[in-house]
Amino acid sequence: MKFHRMWQWFRPCTLALVLVACHGTDDNDQAELSPNPQDILQLPANSPKIHSIREAEAIPEQRPLLEPITGKITYDETRTVRVSSPIAGRIIAIPAQLGAAVGVGTPLLELDSPELGQAQAEYAKATADLKLAEYDFERLKNLYEHGIAPHKEFHQAEDALERARSEAERSRLRLANLGVHEKRPDNHFTLKAPIAGIVTERNVNPGMEVRPDLTTPLFVVSDLSRLWVLLDVFEKDLAVIHPGQDVKLTVPAYPDEWFPARIDYIGKVVDETTRTVKVRCLLPNPDGKLLPSMYASVEVESPPDDKAIVVPLTALFTEGESDWLFVALGEGRYQKREVRVGLRLKKEAVLLEGVQPGERIVTDGALLLRSELDTAPDAEKKQP
């Protein structure tokens, strides 16, 4: 009975102690979750300082891996030809104009070429000699088979026939290599486009004498629907790039537009002076906006599912060894918040912790708010 009465007395005390303990735990947790009132700033609705503050929503985007790299757009050499004349002559017509679209076999220029006339004459002579050699061979073969012609003459005719065939074939191939189908001498040579594309360079004028050994090509024809971008990537950054990786670029002509490209080749030699490696990217150019020799700012992209919140450097400020920014809570309230920064670029920083997607951050005016927070009376510092 005594034990029962003691338990009746002890049970309420125990319950009270438990309730007190639980109440103390809730207060501690609440204190940890609540922001420091000293980090909340309330600006009056009519404060002129609000007009100096710019905000932006924190939206995850593909994580940048490197500082933007300056690159140069060039021809895709697998789709570009530099056309020279395979034969000497004087230009009598130039059908292809600079910037013209040409197809395979489109005439680029026409020459009056005595050298071509000589090649055509040599072919005509070789074919005539072949016919004569064939006639002599058949005649001596018939005489040899009937025992009239000696063996020596028969073999001489056979050798003459082989030489005539070789000479006729050589002269035929000479004309075939020039793309000439007219075998009669006329001195008229037409230089044709070997690929479809745009005439991007023309270094000829009517009446000009041309030769195969000219150092400057007469025409440059290129398919500009795809280009190359050449980059110089520092040796220390090679670990974050690989063939097949997507990049994006912008050019001064279209500063608000991004163009996709893909890393195609990474050089195998480091430049000893600059400590960089040549990197080549394939750049689709279906609408022809981009041109060879343009300079571009190239950003290397992370995988599509690797996203992070990227903020301008104007949003950040430093206190001690930590980085901070302000989060807009609405109705003129701003919270000073510590963040952890990963990659820091020239104009942006990648956040690792501190801001959740959808929150609004102060991109301009952070230093103004910081100064206001430091000097504001306690009455303007409120909890959210």
- Summarised one tens digit per residue, pLDDT across range 228-243 is 999 999 999 999 999 9
Check residue 317 and give its pLDDT: 94
Three-state SS annotation for 257-278: EEEEEEEEEEEEEECCCCCEEE
Q: Is the dihedral of CA 38, 43, 30, 352 positive or negative?
A: negative
Residue 61 CB partners (closer than 8 Å, separation 6+): 307, 308, 309, 310
Nearest to 317 by CA among 327, 326, 306: 326
Task: Name the band, by pLDDT with cuts 50, 70 and 90, for residue 70.
Answer: very high
Exposed (0-12), middle (13-18) or buried (19+): which is 364, by Cβ within 10 Å? Answer: middle
Nearest to 86 by CA among 184, 190, 172, 203: 190
Mean pLDDT (the chain, rounded) = 85
Whether 127 shows a pLDDT value over 50: the answer reads yes
Is pLDDT larger for residue 141 or for residue 227? Answer: 227
Copy the structure tokens of residue 210: 């041309």
Q: Mean pLDDT highest for which of 39-43, 134-138, 210-214?
A: 210-214
- Summarised one tens digit per residue, pLDDT across range 85-114 is 999 999 999 999 999 999 999 999 999 999
Global pTM reads 0.69
Whether 36 shows a pLDDT value over 90: the answer reads no
Q: Is 127 helix (H, G, I), strand (E, B) or coil?
A: helix
Task: Name the band, by pLDDT with cuts 50, 70 and 90, for residue 23.
Answer: very low
Check residue 293 and give its pLDDT: 96
What are the structural domains, with CATH classification, of the chain?
A: 36-63+307-380 (2.40.420.20), 69-78+224-300 (2.40.30.170), 116-184 (1.10.287.470)
Length of the chain: 384
Check residue 6 and give its pLDDT: 41
Report whether 355 contacts 337 (CB < 8 A). yes
Cα distance between residue 347 and residue 316, in whole Å: 11
- Summarised one tens digit per residue, pLDDT across range 287-346 is 999 999 999 999 998 888 889 999 999 999 999 899 999 999 998 899 999 999 998 988
Q: Which residues of 91-130 are buried (b: 16+ CB within 10 A; e: fewer)?
A: beebebeeeeebeeebebbbbebebbbebbebbeebeebb
Q: Mean pLDDT highest for which of 12-16, 152-156, 218-222?
A: 218-222
130-153 average pLDDT score: 83
355-369 average pLDDT score: 93
Residue 161 CB partners (closer than 8 Å, separation 6+): 130, 133, 134, 136, 137
